[in-house]
C-alpha cells in the first residue's frame, strides 16, 4: 500500500513537471540550473565513466541525459509519471518506482546516485539502504543532501514558499535538511564515506548565477570551490559512499 507522503510527493512533482524545465536544460547557459546539472553529473563521471549507473529520482532526465553520455548503461527511476514522460521523450531508459523500494535486483549497478530527492524522503535511512543494495561491491552511492549550514538553507528557512505549479507550492512537499555531519552519521551500513562535493557554495542567491555579467564569474568560482573544504557550506552536499 502506498504511503500518504508518496502520494503527496507524486502529485507535487506531476504538477511541477509542466514547468520544471522553464529555466533548466541549458535554457540559461552557465546559469544556476546549468551549474547544478554540471557539478552533479561531473561528480558522477568521477566514479562512473563506462560503468552502469542508476539515478534515483531522475525527474525529466536532465542529469541522466548527461550521465548517459559517459556511462556504459544509464537507468533512471522516479515516482512521478509526469516527470518520466519527459525523460522518455529524451530516449532515456526509465521506470516508475520509489527510493525506498527500488525495482532492481541486488548488485545491479556500479554507481547509484540521487540528487534533490532524498531531502523529500522521511525514511532516508531506508532509501540509502536500497541504493546500497542495488550497488555492486566496490561501487559508489552518491547521495545529495540539503545543507542547513548554507546561504541556500538560510534563505529556504526565512524566505516565502514559492509556487512551483498550478496547484502546489514548495511547502506542500516534505523537506528535510541534513548537515555534512549528519550525512556522515547517515553512512549506510556496509559502506564508507569516500568523498564529497559541494554544489552552490558562494552564491547568496541563485539569481546571481543567472545574471548576464556576474553569472559567468560566479559559475567559475562555484566550480573551483566545489571540491575544497568550503563544500561543507554548500547548499547541496553530495556524499560519495563506497560499498565495501
Percent of the chain with pLDDT over 70: 82
Q: Is the pTM of this model over 0.85?
A: yes
Residue 7, pLDDT above cutoff 90: no
The pLDDT confidence band at residue 157, using thresholds 50, 70 and 90, is confident
pLDDT, averaged across the chain? 89
Determine the pLDDT at residue 1: 47
- Going from the C-alpha of 178 to that of each of 119, 167, 186, 239, the distances in angstroms are 8, 28, 9, 11
Determine the pLDDT at residue 153: 85
The pLDDT confidence band at residue 156, using thresholds 50, 70 and 90, is confident
* Distance of alpha carbon 59 from alpha carbon 64, whole angstroms: 9
Pick the CATH number of 4-243 from 3.30.70.1110, 3.90.79.10, 2.40.37.10, 3.40.50.150: 3.40.50.150
Determine the pLDDT at residue 90: 96
Determine the pLDDT at residue 155: 78
Q: Answer for the pair 110, 139: CB distance below 8 angstroms, yes or no.
A: yes
Stronger pLDDT, 165 or 91, i.e. the higher one: 91
**What is the tens place of the pLDDT at every residue in 190-211?**
999 999 999 999 999 999 999 9
Determine the pLDDT at residue 160: 58
Percent of the chain with pLDDT over 90: 76
For 141-163, what is the mean pLDDT?
82
Q: Answer for the pair 62, 24: CB distance below 8 angstroms, yes or no.
A: yes
Determine the pLDDT at residue 60: 95
* Distance of alpha carbon 62 from alpha carbon 33, whole angstroms: 10
Amino acid at each position: 500500500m502506498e504511503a500518504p507522503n508518496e502520494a503527496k510527493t507524486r502529485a507535487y512533482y506531476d504538477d511541477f513537471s509542466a514547468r520544471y524545465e522553464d529555466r533548466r536544460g541549458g535554457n540559461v547557459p552557465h546559469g544556476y540550473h546549468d551549474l547544478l546539472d554540471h557539478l552533479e553529473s561531473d561528480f558522477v563521471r568521477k566514479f562512473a565513466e563506462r560503468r552502469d549507473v542508476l539515478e534515483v529520482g531522475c525527474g525529466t532526465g536532465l542529469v541522466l541525459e548527461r550521465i548517459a553520455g559517459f556511462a556504459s548503461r544509464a537507468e533512471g527511476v522516479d515516482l512521478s509519471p509526469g516527470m518520466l514522460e519527459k525523460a522518455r521523450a529524451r530516449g532515456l531508459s526509465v521506470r516508475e518506482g520509489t527510493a525506498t523500494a527500488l525495482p532492481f535486483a541486488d548488485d545491479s549497478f556500479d554507481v547509484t546516485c540521487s540528487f534533490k530527492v532524498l531531502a523529500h524522503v522521511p525514511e532516508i535511512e531506508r532509501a540509502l539502504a536500497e541504493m546500497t543494495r542495488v550497488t555492486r561491491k566496490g561501487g559508489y552511492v552518491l547521495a545529495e543532501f540539503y545543507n542547513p549550514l548554507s546561504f541556500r538553507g538560510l534563505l529556504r528557512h526565512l524566505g516565502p514558499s514559492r509556487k512551483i505549479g498550478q496547484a502546489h507550492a514548495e511547502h506542500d512537499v516534505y523537506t528535510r535538511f541534513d548537515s555534512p555531519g549528519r550525512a556522515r552519521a547517515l553512512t549506510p551500513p556496509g559502506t564508507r564515506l569516500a568523498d564529497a562535493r559541494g554544489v552552490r557554495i558562494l552564491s547568496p542567491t541563485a539569481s546571481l548565477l543567472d545574471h548576464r555579467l556576474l553569472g559567468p564569474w560566479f559559475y567559475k568560482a562555484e566550480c573551483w570551490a566545489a571540491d575544497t573544504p568550503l563544500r561543507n557550506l554548500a547548499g547541496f552536499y553530495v556524499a560519495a559512499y563506497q560499498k565495501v
